[in-house]
Amino acid sequence: DMDTSQGQGLYPLNRCKTIHLVRHAQGFHNVAGEKDHNAYLSPELFDAQLTPLGWQQVDNLRKHVHASGLSDRIELVVVSPLLRTMQTAVGVFGGEGHANGIDGPPPMVENSGESNRPAISSLKPPPFLANELCREHMIESDDDVLWKADVREADEDLAARGLKFFNWLSTRKEKEIAVVTHSGFLIHSLNEYGNDCHISVKSEICRPFTNCELRSVVIVDRRMIGADSSTIDYPGKIPRGPDAPSDDADGI
């Protein structure tokens, strides 16, 4: 009925993408920020690496994405260009341990960021792409003459950057993409979505992420931002023949 249709959305599959959102694992800035929130403004912790606990979280998420089959479906991993997100992305979605004889440089070298972790192989992982749009609050800009030390990017500016990022995702050819990013980016970006949904669905979309949490969403290109055509739709009428629609005939 009409009430049911108004509570649902129906879209062409080629206009949809599945996005697997991941917040980075625990970093040293999270530990410091738990004690003093002002630590998040510290230049020394801006590019914090993962803690040993964070690496355990990475290992557990990696097991999950392999056990669920998700690792075989992801076509691209987009990652914030900060150390903690790159460590999380490569640790979760990268290949196995790097070995001699494998062509190509490893996506993570041994002991990267003093992590005491082995190198990670470039064998069979999806491609990785760093993107500035999905990084955490910016606290410095060489181009911004109004920038002040220890002042983070405004939440509304971060949200606008998030919308720009999701629009960019819509232009990608890949249909299943993992995004490894930050809590602040996810909170303020996702809060821009779901206003046309039931409040419970809106809450699902906007619920804060824990460290190394993975949550999957679908984005729909309703404004023809991308140029994707369907790869599985079939035109029919091969071979051609009479096919008058049944609702044109009385009683049929």
Q: Would you say 14 and 233 are in contact if contact means Cβ atoms under 8 Å apart? A: yes
Residues recognised as catalytic: 24, 136
**DSSP codes joined into one string, 95-156:** -SB--TT-SS--SB-TTGGG-----B--SSPPPEEE-GGGSS-----TT-TT--TT-PPPHH
Tokens representing residue 30 in the block: 């999270």
Residue (of 35, 231, 117) closest to 94 by Cα position:
117
Residue (of 140, 178, 196, 134) closest to 159 by Cα position:
134
Question: Residues 6 or more apart from 74 whose CB is under 8 A from it?
Answer: 20, 65, 93, 126, 176, 177, 178
Q: Would you say 44 and 95 are in contact if contact means Cβ atoms under 8 Å apart? A: no
Tokens representing residue 209 in the block: 């992420």
Tokens representing residue 155 in the block: 């939440």
Please state the φ and ψ torsions of residue 50, each to the nearest 5 degrees.
Answer: -75, 150
Three-class SS state of 72: helix
Tell me the longest C-alpha to C-alpha distance in the chain. 77
Query: Which residue is it, tokens 């599945």?
Result: 18
